[in-house]
Amino acid sequence: MSSLEKKLVKLEEEIQRLEFEKEKISLEFTKAGEKNDVDELLRLQELLDSTDLEIMEKLEEWENSEAELNTLKN
């Protein structure tokens, strides 16, 4: 397995971890909403936003790596 292929696998694992983390934060967000805990809602929204951004960055990195790998294979 090439280093690029290993990088893709690692990125896929990181994306899955981040998506799982986002699900957990979303559940906490729902609970905070039920309690009308505005401070917690704001904190969790910031966390969701930063997690979304990180997921998007990892997806972009994955796409670029996959394109590079496909270029090398052809």
State the amino acid at position 1 in one-letter form.
M
| Residue 35 token pair | 């309690």
Threshold 0.85, pTM exceeds: yes
Low-confidence ranges of the chain (pLDDT < 50): none
The answer to whether residues 69 and 4 touch, using CB atoms and an 8 Å cutoff, is: yes
With tokens 């998506």, the residue in question is 19
pLDDT of 63: 97
pLDDT at 66: 95
State the pLDDT at residue 15: 98
Q: According to the model, what pLDDT value does residue 31 have?
A: 97
pLDDT at 74: 79
From residue 51, alpha-carbon distances to 26, 35, 65, 68 in Å are 11, 23, 21, 26
